[in-house]
Chains A and B, each alone.
Chain A
Amino acid sequence: MSSDSPRLITIGCNHHKTPLEVRERLALSSESALLLQNKLKEHPEILEAAILNTCNRMEIHAVANGDSVMDHVSRMLGSIEDFPVQEFLEHAYVHENMQAINHAFRVAAGLDSQLVGETQILGQMKSSYATATKQKMVGPVLHKFFQKSFQAAKWARTETKIGTGQVSLGNVAVELATRIFGKLTVSRTLVIGSGEVGREVAKAFRSRGVACMSIASRTHERAQKLSREIDGLVIPFNSWQDTLPYVDIGIFATSAPMSILDKATLQNVLRKRSRKPLFLIDLALPRDIDASASELSNLYLYNLDDLADIANENLKNRQKEVDTCLIELDRKAHYTWKSMKLES
């Protein structure tokens, strides 16, 4: 790409600089993401665009003419109902050209993830690429950008040890449950929602032999699919609150736009449970459970950030490997950028 040619640009915000309570307001629903994608497509100065929308990051990768891409994107985001544009701008980062490639390589390799070295983000990037391709928003630049990112991720996964010794969120949650209940074979678990992270955590509990698993999801088919995977029992979504006093562990991973469980309700639930503790894992973003509920005694509430912090405790041991990987990814990004410039 020459200096006057369209620029490759990444605009976004992620868990590094944006606290959870802001991130949950920035999270785009699938409908909002589609709306944004359409707006990007319609904009004359934006030639190519893809949206990466996960619970920990919202990024727009675009190829655009002119210097006001950020303004255009802000206006588009402002047109989405209830989207806090000002907060987004306060926490947003912008990477251009080689920095954008460098950033994408790190993201794809899981080095920019909350759980360093995780692989889920690669699948989410692939999904973002597929969606944008389907919308005919991927041209030669973004195609190469994504393909090279996937290759970089594959290299990091196979040629380095960044994933070695990594603790999954599911294992962290199970470990915490063991510290509360001891043996989990008599513990009852309720899974609300059927998202990917929730499924991973539910599977971890099943593998540790929890006594009974109930699943409630707005999408009945997805609940049934998960119930087959973890040998659980599907319950109607509108009855999960009645079940709560009788379970020990609650895994919440819905895509509800606001919290579905408040402190007062939980107070009542705890009263019905007499002296038995309750362990709630809130994996949703926006969060499903009112954060102030953690003040209640005999209730242990963990969210995505809490679990990731614990999972990353062994990161120090892997730091050298991560540093080596980062240097190599920087080098790869540099070569990719050079080849893209030559091609253009």
Chain B
Amino acid sequence: MLIPDKWLLLIGTMAYVAALILTLLRLSNKRPPLHAVNLVLILVGWVVQSAGLWMLGMNAGSCPIRNPFEVLQFISWSIVILYIFTGQVFRLSLFGTGSAALAAIISFSAYLIPGGNKVSPHSFLGGDPRIEAHASLALVSYGIFGLLAVLSVLYLLQNNSLKTKRNSGVFKFLPSLVDMDTVLMRLLIMACVVYTVSVAIGATYWIEHTNDVALPKLTLTLALWVGYWLVLILRAMNKLFGTRLAWSCILLMIAALAILWPVEASREHNSLADSTVESQPFQNVV
């Protein structure tokens, strides 16, 4: 049986699903999406999800990112809060629906990970605040990566529909290519800045505890950081744009999600090692 915080997280996710279903129903009836109703549903979902995460955090005595379940919930939450703030500025049609869909997928997949809910008794969190700041900022940047991926999918859909000359259904409600390109650039800048701050905070800790960081984790984290900066630089130089930029953002998001697993495994391994050596390892969440 699910405990209250899990129920709250599930109810929050269901609100995102409701926003998605409502939009799909409207589109299938060839009617435009109801932005205000969608936003309300997403806001309600986010508030309920926040309550669930707050309860988890209170139990943990730290940011609720102690296991894969919590990490995925935190990413899902980050996607939505970032959408709530940036989406209203960018005002892109279907961006909210896409964000809600991705948040719901990530949140649901958190329930499907076998043993993903286990909390190690030797959690690194709650100690040095730099670790928590580094980890939570890294997960917020994952939220931005998620929004980038959502927008990239919308971009590819719009591009494909224009190329194949399809005008009906969902396609005519998609944002324009130029608007999406502009927002992609802004989100890329945001993602690189937040992720860099996260890596920088982690680095200050790592300098003092070089032996505590597993090499694969460090390599993957830096590779992802380089990957996003490379994409941003190429986009700024007009060398990478349009569909290739969209595909790059999607592939980077997939890579970011894929490296969560080795990082988590490494964390588990280090936590167990902690119990014997009784040192507090630097834990780079992503």
Query: Could you list which residues of chain A lie within 8 angstroms of chain B, going by C-beta atoms?
Result: 172, 175-176, 178-182, 274-277, 294, 297-298, 300, 302, 306, 309-310, 313
Contacts and interface: CB of A to CB of B under 8 A. Distances in A.
9 contacts: A175-B167, A179-B171, A179-B177, A181-B176, A274-B241, A277-B178, A294-B163, A300-B162, A313-B168
Given A179-B172, A180-B178, A182-B178, A298 B162 contact: no
B109 to A, nearest CB: 32
Give the size range of B's interface with the partner. Answer: 10 to 19
Looking at chain B's contact residues, the main secondary structure is helix
Given A300-B162, A302-B165, A313-B167, A182 B243 contact: no
B176 A297 contact: no
A180 B175 CA distance: 8
B176 A300 contact: no
A280 to B, nearest CB: 12
A254 to B, nearest CB: 22
B168 A182 contact: no
A300 B163 contact: yes
> Which of A179, A294, A310 lies at the interface centre, i.e. has the most chain B CB atoms within 10 A of its CB?
A179
B128 interface: no
Given A176-B162, A294-B163, A309-B165, A181 B242 contact: no
A298 B163 CA distance: 9
Question: 9 closest A-B pairs (Cβ-Cβ)?
Answer: A275-B241, A182-B176, A274-B238, A182-B179, A310-B167, A275-B238, A181-B178, A306-B165, A300-B162
B189 interface: no
Contacts of B242: 275, 277, 297-298
Given A175-B167, A178-B176, A179-B172, 11 more contacts: A172-B167, A176-B162, A179-B158, A179-B162, A180-B162, A180-B177, A275-B181, A276-B178, A297-B242, A298-B242, A313-B167
B174 interface: yes
B174 A179 contact: yes
Nearest to B240: A275
B33 to A, nearest CB: 16
Main secondary structure of the interface of A (DSSP, over half): helix
A290 B88 CA distance: 42
A175 B178 contact: no
Q: Which of B167, B241, B242 has the most CB of A within 10 A?
A: B167
A314 to B, nearest CB: 10
A82 B178 CA distance: 43
Interface string B168-198: 1001101111110100000000000000000
B231 to A, nearest CB: 14
A207 B167 CA distance: 22
B280 to A, nearest CB: 47
B175 A182 contact: yes
A181 B175 CA distance: 9
A310 B168 CA distance: 8
Contacts of A297: 242-243
Nearest to B243: A297
B81 to A, nearest CB: 26
Most buried by A among B175, B176, B241: B176
Contacts of A298: 241-242
A87 B214 CA distance: 73
Contacts of B167: 172, 175-176, 310, 313
Nearest to B244: A297
Contacts of B175: 182
Contacts of A294: 163
A302 B179 CA distance: 21
A116 to B, nearest CB: 17
Contacts of A182: 175-176, 178-179
Nearest to B174: A179
Interface in B26-47: none
A179 B243 CA distance: 15
